[in-house]
């Protein structure tokens, strides 16, 4: 007999089924018991006789053969009258360190992360990663439909000249190397190398000394880079298109999971584009909030999101026209003292930095100098601009960040299978 998934039981023609999964819950009565069997696709109730019940413990893996019986009180209206149960994976514990079958996890997040191989089993936690997988699927499908190629670029790099956050060092044979904080240089070079439009879904590393709800030191970055653009608006159009595609995709593929988190995604997302200076003015006039020069802080992100929610009924806002000094040296200036770059804020959290990049060799070389750096330090990256680089730009989305904002979670660690931060490197 072939193993069947729980979600397929109801529609199955035969009465007898073979199921495999974990013992989710046990309820004992005088002569028999209920065992909830949980597999990858759902939970179903088994009716088990006293004898078979004896050896069972929560979270064991079992296989059960039985016949379908209708029971309106059971989950899904169906239960399985079990003929035989076989234990496939034994348990060795006195007490489960955290409960799996509670609707809400009562454990502290740190405890959940300590026992990640158990907490991930809880349907509510598992659902986060189902949604996350569909976010990456939507990203990939959307970009492929738009002529993008998926690429894999190195994470071990020779120098850390992109600027910005701190880098982790790697002992690479005889010399010191670094972990890439983003595929920025490489995705640009791939555009120039004839791939034109590329994306990468891969790890990025930031040795930042921040241990907050929104920082991870290893995270998954959804990176896109696109050649032959007119300006940064093409990139914002691309990302806005993605957000709409994503929401529509999630509604189709994650109905159950979105309901679990009581999430109602918009049917259409139109994202206002507000120049940073204007945003500063709004924050000051409306909320008395002063912003740091050329940027917006965490409080500002929350307030500007409040503003666009009230004004445009949207959870998203592009902040544009960041000043030159506040952006990396490869950012395209707009000729008015600012850059052709943007951030995307989603429900009070920055999830994207993007923009148009400089594509002319001489201009890039001069800009590097203007920033006080030495062009020689940019070796092959700068060299690659000698050979006909098209106008281009791109963006990156932090996967854990967009996941928690979609599901209204509180901490990026909830959206990382095995998060890495300043204090955590296990499990």
Cβ nearer to its own copies, comparing 178 with 342: 178
Minimum distance between the CB of residue 292 and its own copies, rounded to whole angstroms?
A: 27
Q: How far apart are CA 142 and CA 333, in angstroms?
A: 29
Binders of its own copies in range 110-169 (CB under 8 A): 116-118, 120-121, 126, 129-130, 133, 136-137, 147, 149-158, 168-169
270 close to 155: Cβ distance less than 8 angstroms: no
Q: How far apart are CA 39 and CA 45, in angstroms?
A: 12
Q: Does 417 bind its own copies (CB under 8 A)?
A: yes
Q: How many residues bind its own copies (CB under 8 A)?
A: 93
Q: What residue has token string 């960040």?
A: 401
Cβ nearer to its own copies, comparing 180 with 317: 180
Q: Which residue blocks in 4-49 are alpha helix, DSSP H?
A: 6-9
Q: Does 242 bind its own copies (CB under 8 A)?
A: no
Residue 327 among known ligand-binding residues: no
Q: Does 332 bind its own copies (CB under 8 A)?
A: no
User: Binding residue for its own copies (CB under 8 A) from 27, 29, 40, 163?
Assistant: 40
User: Binding residue for its own copies (CB under 8 A) from 55, 77, 337, 379?
Assistant: 379
Residue 162 among known ligand-binding residues: yes
Residue 266 among known ligand-binding residues: no
Cβ nearer to its own copies, comparing 133 with 278: 133
**Closest Cα to residue 281, out of 271, 291, 269, 272?**
291
Binders of its own copies in range 62-81 (CB under 8 A): 63
User: Binding residue for its own copies (CB under 8 A) from 4, 65, 109, 193?
Assistant: 193
Cβ nearer to its own copies, comparing 6 with 308: 6
Residue 196 among known ligand-binding residues: no
Q: What angle do CA 30, 31, 34 make, to 5 degrees?
A: 90
Q: Does 264 bind its own copies (CB under 8 A)?
A: no
Peptide bond into 427 cis (omega under 30): yes
Q: How many CA atoms lie within 13 A of 388 on its CB side?
A: 3
User: Binding residue for its own copies (CB under 8 A) from 11, 51, 95, 171?
Assistant: 171
Residue 385: both structure tokens together: 């601009």
Binders of its own copies in range 4-23 (CB under 8 A): 5, 20, 22-23
User: Binding residue for its own copies (CB under 8 A) from 16, 278, 360, 377?
Assistant: 360
Residue 376: exposed, middle, or buried by beta-carbon count in 10 A (0-12, 13-18, 19+)? exposed
Q: Does 426 bind its own copies (CB under 8 A)?
A: yes
Q: Contacts by 301-308 with C-beta closer than 8 Å and gap 24+? A: 301/345, 301/348, 301/349, 301/350, 302/348, 304/274, 304/279, 304/345, 305/345, 305/346, 305/347, 305/348, 306/348, 307/282, 307/283, 308/272, 308/274
Residue 227 among known ligand-binding residues: no
Minimum distance between the CB of residue 308 and its own copies, rounded to whole angstroms?
A: 31
**Candidates 74-82, 267-275, 324-332, 358-366; binding stretch for its own copies (CB under 8 A):** 358-366
DSSP state of 148: -
131 close to 99: Cβ distance less than 8 angstroms: no
Q: Contacts by 106-111 with C-beta closer than 8 Å and gap 24+? A: 109/411, 109/413, 109/414
Ramachandran quadrant class, 398 (left: phi over 0; alpha: psi -120 to 50; beta: rest)? beta
Binders of its own copies in range 270-309 (CB under 8 A): none
Binders of its own copies in range 84-113 (CB under 8 A): 88-93, 96
Q: How far apart are CA 337 and CA 230, in angstroms?
A: 19
Residue 414 among known ligand-binding residues: no
Sketch the per residue contact string, 198 through 237, with its own copies: x for CB under 8 A, - otherwise: ----xx-x-x---------xx-x------xx---------
Q: How far apart are CA 370 and CA 155, in angstroms?
A: 28
At residue 21, the 3 state secondary structure works out as strand
**Closest Cα to residue 414, out of 101, 210, 108?**
108
Cβ nearer to its own copies, comparing 169 with 311: 169
Sketch the per residue contact string, 395 through 414, with its own copies: x for CB under 8 A, - otherwise: ----x---------------
**Candidates 26-34, 53-61, 244-252, 260-268; binding stretch for its own copies (CB under 8 A):** 53-61
Cβ nearer to its own copies, comparing 288 with 388: 388
Minimum distance between the CB of residue 36 and its own copies, rounded to whole angstroms?
A: 13
272 close to 312: Cβ distance less than 8 angstroms: yes
Binding-site residue ranges for ATP: 206-208, 214-216, 350, 398-401
Binding-site residue ranges: 162, 206-208, 214-216, 350, 353, 357, 398-401
């Amino acid at each position: 007999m072939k193993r069947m998934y729980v979600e397929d039981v109801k529609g199955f023609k035969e009465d007898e089924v073979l199921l495999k999964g974990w013992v989710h819950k046990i309820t004992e009565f005088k002569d028999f018991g209920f065992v909830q069997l949980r597999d990858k696709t759902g939970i179903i109730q088994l009716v088990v006789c006293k004898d078979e019940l004896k050896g069972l413990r929560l979270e064991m893996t079992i296989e059960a053969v039985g016949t379908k019986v209708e029971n309106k009180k059971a989950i899904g209206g169906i239960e399985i009258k079990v003929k035989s149960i076989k234990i496939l994976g034994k348990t060795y514990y006195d007490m489960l360190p955290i409960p799996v079958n509670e609707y809400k996890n009562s454990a502290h997040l740190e405890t959940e992360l300590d026992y990640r191989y158990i907490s991930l089993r809880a349907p509510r936690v598992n659902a986060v990663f189902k949604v996350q997988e569909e976010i990456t699927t939507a990203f990939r499908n959307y970009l492929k439909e738009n002529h993008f190629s998926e690429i894999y670029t190195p994470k071990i790099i020779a120098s850390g000249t992109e600027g910005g956050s701190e880098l982790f060092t790697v002992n690479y044979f005889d010399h010191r190397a670094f972990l890439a904080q983003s595929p920025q240089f490489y995705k640009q070079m791939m555009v120039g190398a004839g791939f034109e439009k590329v994306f990468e879904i891969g790890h990025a590393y930031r040795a930042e000394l921040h241990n907050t709800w929104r920082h991870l030191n290893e995270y998954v970055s959804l990176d896109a880079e696109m050649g032959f653009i007119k300006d940064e608006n093409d990139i914002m159009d691309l990302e806005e298109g993605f957000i709409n595609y994503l929401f529509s995709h999630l509604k189709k593929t994650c109905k159950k999971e979105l309901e679990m988190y009581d999430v109602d995604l918009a049917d259409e997302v139109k994202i206002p584009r507000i120049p940073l200076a204007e945003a500063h003015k709004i924050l000051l006039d409306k909320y008395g909030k002063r912003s740091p020069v050329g940027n917006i802080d965490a409080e500002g992100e929350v307030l500007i999101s409040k503003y666009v929610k009230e004004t445009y009924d949207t959870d998203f806002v592009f902040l544009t026209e960041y000043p030159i000094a506040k952006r990396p040296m490869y950012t395209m200036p707009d000729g008015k003292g600012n850059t052709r770059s943007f951030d995307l804020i989603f429900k009070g959290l920055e999830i994207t930095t993007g923009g148009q990049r400089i594509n002319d060799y001489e201009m890039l070389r001069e800009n590097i100098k203007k920033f006080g750096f030495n062009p020689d330090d940019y070796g092959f990256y700068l060299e690659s601009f000698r050979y006909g680089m098209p106008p281009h730009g791109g963006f990156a989305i932090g996967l854990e960040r967009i996941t928690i904002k979609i599901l209204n979670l509180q901490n990026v660690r909830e959206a990382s299978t095995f998060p890495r931060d300043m204090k955590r490197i296990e499990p």
